[in-house]
Amino acid sequence: MTDRVDFDDSDDVVAVPLRHPGRWIAAVAILLVLAALIHSLWTNTNIIHSSITEFLFDPRIIKGVGLTIFITVVSMVIATILAIVLAVMRMSANPVLRAVSFGYIWFFRGTPLLVQIVFWGYLGLLYSQIAAGIPFTSIQFFAIDTNTLIPALVGGVIALSLNEAAYAAEIVRAGLLSIDHGQREAAYSLGMGPGYTLRRIVLPQAMKVIIPPMGNETISMLKNTSLLAVVAVAELYTAATQISAQNLRQVELLIVASAWYLFMTTVLSIPQYYLERRFGRGTARELPLTPFQQLKAAIARGRGRSNSRREVAQLQKGSLS
């Protein structure tokens, strides 16, 4: 009789969740520091705030943003395709292909990106003409002036793509390695060839592993486009520094550029989220809801909750009293 729980009493017991006073102290401290920082920037007489708002939507800045997005997208697409080729070569049975892929990755990961960009910029000095012909003979199909064929923008995109491909190749390879060998065997046993198996069976599954780090790489790429300033491509950072060279508002324009970079990286995480969902199909028993669906569900729940709470309470009271 002694260990029988008394229901009438337990009905009034309130569960108190564990308190975390440390969290509150930390949050207040961080907010204070942030507020002080913003205050010091805001009241700093050396920063002319009107020029931030003035240049945030300056046509040159907007053009720079457009070019930055363009370079990022084009370079990422080229790099991804090249990375798949490199990863497949690296895993091939052919030792020549393996060696080429290994050498490529070794070289492009081992030298600084900045150096590679400058190298492509200076290609015109190294080779005044680029010609297609048969090596070590005088046979030539055509020859073009290097600076015509590879203007700064193209050189910049080449440099960024080739460099990124080396990193992305390892990400793709990790993705391909993550797929159980049984998948390939099942595909082969159905009469699929190696290329078809890669395209239709292995890569779509590997995407789940490939996409999150590739999202990171895209954000890196977005910011690395600013390195093209050294070859005078008018992307966002170059545009900002060119303006500040005239009006000497360096800090203001860096703030403008940073705001745009932050905005773009934020926007980039949206397609990543949906890509992950798309390639995650079939792995979980049910797909998680999109933020939009979650919002709708939360609203629906919010409407329902007050009712159901009261109902539950009433039910309990009714059955126990």
User: Which residues here bind another protein, judged by CB under 8 A?
Assistant: 180, 182-183, 185-194, 196, 200-201, 204-205, 279, 281-285
Query: Minimal distance in Å, beta carbon 212 to another protein?
Result: 17
DSSP string, 168-198: HHHHHHHHHHTS-HHHHHHHHHTT--HHHHI
Strand partners, 143: 131
The residue assigned the tokens 């102290």 is 25
Nearer to another protein, 21 or 182 (CB): 182
Contact indicator for 212, 271 with CB cutoff of 8 Å: no
Query: Minimal distance in Å, beta carbon 293 to another protein?
Result: 19
Of 176, 255, 260, the C-alpha closest to 210 is 176
Give the list of residues 6+ apart from residue 30 with CB closer than 8 angstroms, or none. Answer: none
What torsion do the CA atoms of 298, 303, 304, 310 make, to the nearest 10 degrees?
130
Query: Minimal distance in Å, beta carbon 108 to another protein?
Result: 30
Nearer to another protein, 199 or 310 (CB): 199
Query: Minimal distance in Å, beta carbon 277 to another protein?
Result: 13
Contact indicator for 130, 144 with CB cutoff of 8 Å: yes
Query: Minimal distance in Å, beta carbon 266 to another protein?
Result: 29
SS3 145: strand
Contact indicator for 156, 71 with CB cutoff of 8 Å: yes
Query: Minimal distance in Å, beta carbon 192 to another protein?
Result: 5
Nearer to another protein, 199 or 317 (CB): 199
In angstroms, the CA 82 to CA 56 distance is 36
Contact indicator for 67, 160 with CB cutoff of 8 Å: no
In angstroms, the CA 90 to CA 99 distance is 8
Strand partners, 142: 132
Query: Minimal distance in Å, beta carbon 204 to another protein?
Result: 5
